[in-house]
Amino acid sequence: MEKRPDRLGARASIRRRDFINGVLAGSAGAVAFRALPGCAHAGKDDSGLGTVPPAADRADDYTNCHALRDGDSFDIPAASGDLLDCVIIGGGPSGLMAAWMLARLGASSVLVLEKEAPAGGFCRSDTHYGSVVTRAADYTAVPETRDLIDLYLDLGLVTESGGSVTPNPDLVARSPKLRQYIDGAWYDDPWADEAGRGIERLPFPANVIADLKAFRADAQSWWDRRGSDGLWAFDLPDDASADPEIRALDAITFAEYVAGKGWDPAVSDYLSASVQASYALPSSELSAWVAMFELCADVWGGETDEDAGDLAATGGLAFLTEALVDKVGADHLTTGAIVLRAVETDGEVQITYLSEGVTTTLRARTAIYAAPRYMAPYVVPGLGDAGRDESSAFRFTPYLVAQVFVDQTPAKLAWYNEVVSGACFLGFTVADWHDYRDPASAPLTRSNALTVYMPLTEADRPALLTTPIEDYEEAILADLERVLPGVRDTVVAFDLYRWGHAMVAARPGFLFGAERIAAKEPLGAISFACTDLEGIPTFECAAASAFRAAREVAALL
């Protein structure tokens, strides 16, 4: 099939774990945590696998965020200091990219406030037990938009010649990129063989195999499709076609789309492994538009090193945010600063933040709120209660990332090892995969970390921070042993990250709905930037949101 150029690059490589890692547990969809003790298949005493290794909780500190949510009062001192051009609330990818763009557009006095240390949001890394691991975000696409190309050129991540963008070879994701565990056995990436032989090797009945091939052909037709307005069917939401037939996909779930085609329900169950990995919802809950946006890239986006569709490094996307932090500069970034309020008054925006027990109110001509959407109404009083109640279209799904440290690397793995069935987690990556030119041949005697992604449902959020780490640990280790027999004997430590509002949930109607679109509008001199506002949790969406907000602010300046 002739590959067509990708204007945004979103279709080229937005696959599993692209911006914020999602979750699946089995082909029937997500397993709620309240069922987790059974999910472990055996209690700690019955597993026969010995004592679990040491465990460490690495969750961020949400104390002040929860106090702000609960209406606790904070000291709000009078504004002081020089009048800044812009204060950016949030030092994740959106905030850092907005700061970079503002500098290009001529703003000089810009300050980014980030509640954690270091900055980076979900795109951070840690080093524990000799392994560099990602906290959440794993990889992104080679840039295609002019803004992202300019950013990556400035960061030294790509080169450009004759209109062609070439990534730093050290950042090209290494093959093999995918293996799948289904019903007790491992299978290679079924989409990598364009002749369809990979699909034929899957352990499904003949009618399901035939339906998967029909889906593959259907995905190709969507991949190549332009709407009546001439735009591609599946670009980032605000750049995609407004053709009513294409937009109608956002009105149904992917499971409903499969049923409408007359395909076996096993098709949507199996494909949940991909869509839930990237977007946190199973096929029975996820917008069919979003699912096809994902799956068309899976099937036809290119998966070989020669395609250079994926940028990745050990530690996940921390290489991007760390480069952004260096570019923004220490003088323009304050970490450990949680913003309590941003309000426009007396012709300026006043931003109050708390740091080391001291509150300070800054003055700025403009502000960009670049933190998660669910906290915006608590920080920006002018938003009122928009998005705070249960009727809001903005819903967020939690998930867990576990680091399982081993003293030897399991054999016959890929970069991402997707567990379609048979475990309480979605899958796992091999932490040091991109340190090697040929990772599949790297010595197995090396110590490593398996980065495991585990599902939770929205209803499980209240228990997320109170459930003992040992409960999660035992469930994950028991199921790792099921898919990788013998691995538990090699485990030396276990870390857990708890993300309470990890991904915006793109249920039917959300992506092109009025509430999401309205949430992007500035409030006076305060603009908004976050991947949540674009409706799809990807690095490209974070960038698009950041660049839009930066231009809104620059127009005011």
DSSP notation for 490-527? GEEEEEEEEEEEEEE---TTTTTSHHHHHHTS-BTTEE
What DSSP element (H or E) covers 552?
helix 539-556
Question: 422 pLDDT band (50/70/90 cuts)?
Answer: confident
Closest CA to 456 of 497, 511, 405, 416: 497
Q: Give the pLDDT of residue 6.
A: 37
- 255 SS3 class: helix
**Residue 139 — φ and ψ, nearest 5°?**
-160, 170
Indicate whether 467 pLDDT > 70. yes
Q: Give the pLDDT of residue 481.
A: 97
Q: Give the pLDDT of residue 301.
A: 56
User: Are 208 and 183 within 8 A, CB to CB?
Assistant: no
Indicate whether 91 pLDDT > 80. yes
What average pLDDT does this structure show over 182-210? 91
Q: Give the pLDDT of residue 7.
A: 33
Closest CA to 239 of 550, 512, 519: 512
Q: Give the pLDDT of residue 17.
A: 34
Query: Which residue's structure tokens are 């399982």?
Result: 404
For the chain, percent of residues with pLDDT exceeding 90: 72
Report how many helices (DSSP H) and strands (DSSP E) the chain contains, helices first.
Answer: 18, 21
Looking at per-residue confidence, does 20 or 538 come out higher? Answer: 538
Q: Give the pLDDT of residue 274.
A: 84
Indicate whether 2 pLDDT > 60. no
User: Are 531 and 371 within 8 A, CB to CB?
Assistant: no
Q: Give the pLDDT of residue 498.
A: 93
Question: 99 pLDDT band (50/70/90 cuts)?
Answer: very high
- Residues 349 and 329: their CA atoms lie apart, in Å, by 23
What average pLDDT does this structure show over 41-62? 64
Looking at per-residue confidence, does 299 or 526 come out higher? Answer: 526
Structural domains in the chain plus CATH codes = 10-59+127-312+397-502 (3.90.660.10), 68-115+336-394+507-556 (3.50.50.60)
Q: Give the pLDDT of residue 21.
A: 34
Q: Give the pLDDT of residue 185.
A: 96
Looking at per-residue confidence, does 460 or 186 come out higher? Answer: 186
Indicate left, alpha or beta for 520 from its phi (over 0: left) and psi (-120 to 50: alpha): alpha
Q: Give the pLDDT of residue 50.
A: 53
Indicate whether 46 pLDDT > 70. no
* Pick from 301-305, 312-316, 390-394, 532-536: least confident: 301-305
Looking at per-residue confidence, does 297 or 226 come out higher? Answer: 226
- Residues 379 and 377: their CA atoms lie apart, in Å, by 6
What average pLDDT does this structure show over 54-70? 88
Q: Would you say how long the chain is, in residues?
A: 557
Q: Give the pLDDT of residue 51.
A: 65
User: Are 452 and 17 within 8 A, CB to CB?
Assistant: no
- Residues 442 and 448: their CA atoms lie apart, in Å, by 12
- Residues 280 and 398: their CA atoms lie apart, in Å, by 8
Alpha-carbon separation of residue 239 from 226, 393, 460, 535, 547 (angstroms): 12, 21, 34, 13, 14
Q: Give the pLDDT of residue 276.
A: 86
Looking at per-residue confidence, does 391 or 424 come out higher? Answer: 424
Indicate whether 188 pLDDT > 70. yes
Q: Give the pLDDT of residue 387.
A: 66
Q: What is the mean pLDDT of the chain?
A: 87
Q: Give the pLDDT of residue 47.
A: 45
User: Are 128 and 405 within 8 A, CB to CB?
Assistant: yes
Looking at per-residue confidence, does 104 or 36 come out higher? Answer: 104
Radius of gyration of the chain (CA): 23
Q: Torsion angle, CA of 97/103/105/111, rounded to 10 degrees?
A: 80
Instruction: List pLDDT tens digits, range 112-168.
Output: 999 999 999 999 999 999 999 999 989 898 898 999 999 999 999 999 999 899 999
Question: 391 pLDDT band (50/70/90 cuts)?
Answer: confident
Determine how many CB atoms are found less than 10 A away from the CB of residue 437.
11
Indicate whether 240 pLDDT > 70. yes
Query: Which residue's structure tokens are 């547990």?
Result: 25
Is the four-CA dihedral 288, 134, 516, 534 of positive or negative sign?
negative
SS (H, E, C) 409-447: CCCCCCCEEEECCCCCCCEEEECCHHHCCCHHHCCCCCC
What average pLDDT does this structure show over 55-61? 87
Query: Which residue's structure tokens are 């989409």?
Result: 191
Whole-angstrom distance between the N-terminal and C-terminal Cα of the chain? Answer: 48
For the chain, percent of residues with pLDDT exceeding 70: 89
